[in-house]
Amino acid sequence: MIYTDNRLLSVGLVGGTCSRHYGNMRDISAQNNVYKALNIPPEKILHFHQTHSDTIISITSAQEAAQFAALPEQDADAWLFTAPGWGAAIQTADCVPLFLFDEHGHAFALAHCGWRGVVNRLPFKTACALKNTGRCGKIFGWLGPHIQVCCFEVQADVAAQFSPSSLHRKDGKIFVNLNLEILGQLKEAGVNPLDIKTPYYCTCGDEKNFFSWRRDHVRQNLLSFIYKP
Ligand SMILES: [Zn+2]
């Protein structure tokens, strides 16, 4: 199935996160099958090389998107669009696919937020970039399936990089709640937390539906995509 937020469709966007049944998305032909099933032209979906950074690529026109598509893949971890006709994909296997979009569908973003990206404040920076386009009404957000607090145990050195309020301690172990950390950053960027949906789909805990690097240590990725016709 494709997990999604109904508000994407209501503002004219097509997007979501595919369950593992669609295949390993490191294989581009598996991605193309998804796009074709949804009437998305595969050549209108942009890709980058994910590096757990805080780099955002901004696409402001169809011409710019076409130029970008002709280049080798750039290093980056978030997309920001203010032009229709194009979209982008990211791949995850525990990291958070963060969807941010404005109430009119004029501006939309998709960020690959691993814990390093979250520590680098990529959610905050992506929300600020979206606001700074000047094309934004109210911002909605949706966090696709990722590793949840139930499974995201970390050591003290990683835990120290998060807000104490985003940590959960149990039986001498420390767990990170990425949802809380991301919600905090989005609120700081001026987004109303009530407009952010954080459904509890755990990639690590649900083997039937999701790939998980933490669980399997196999290079198999889920696809998240966003597109405006
Ligand atoms: Zn879990």
CATH of the domain at 158: 3.60.140.10
Q: What is the mean pLDDT of residues 202-215?
A: 98
pLDDT at residue 119 in the model: 97
Total of domains in the chain = 1
Q: Is pLDDT of 6 > 90?
A: yes
Round to whole Å and give the CA distance between 119 and 74: 21
Q: What is the mean pLDDT of residues 33-51?
A: 97
Sequence-separated (6 or more) residues with CB below 8 Å from residue 109: 56, 78, 79, 80, 81, 98, 99, 100, 101, 126, 127, 129, 130, 226
pLDDT attached to residue 77: 98
C-alpha to C-alpha distance for 29 and 165, rounded to whole angstroms: 42
Q: How far is the CA of 145 from the centre of ligand 1 (A)?
A: 10
CA of 101 to the centre of ligand 1 (A): 27
The structure tokens listed for 136 are 């934004």
Domain span at residue 205 reads 2-227
pLDDT at 134: 87
**198 C-alpha to ligand 1 centroid (Å):** 14
Asked whether the predicted pLDDT for residue 20 surpasses 90, the reply is yes
63 contacts 201 by C-beta, under 8 angstroms:
no
Give the distance (Å) from ligand 1 centre to CA of residue 13. Answer: 29
137: left (phi over 0), alpha (psi -120 to 50) or beta: beta
- The CA-atom distances, in angstroms, between 191 and each of 84, 137, 185 are 23, 11, 9
pLDDT in tens, 55-103: 999 999 999 999 999 999 999 999 999 999 999 999 999 999 999 999 9
Sign for the pseudo-dihedral over CA of 54, 60, 64, 66: positive
pLDDT tens-digit series, residues 143-173? 999 999 999 999 999 999 999 999 999 999 9
CA 7 to ligand 1 centroid distance, Å: 26
Give distance in angstroms: CA of 223 to centre of ligand 1: 19
* pLDDT for the residue 221: 98
Tokens representing 94 are 């525990």
Handedness of CA 36, 38, 41, 42 (dihedral sign): negative
Q: Residue 136: which pLDDT band, with cuts at 50, 70 and 90?
A: confident
For residue 191, the CA-to-ligand 1 centroid distance in Å is 27
Distance of CA 89 to the CA centre of its chain: 9
Q: Model's pTM, two decimal places?
A: 0.97
Tell me, in angstroms, the distance from the centre of ligand 1 to residue 149's CA: 6
CB–CB of 122/111 below 8 Å? yes
Token pair, residue 71, equals 């280049």
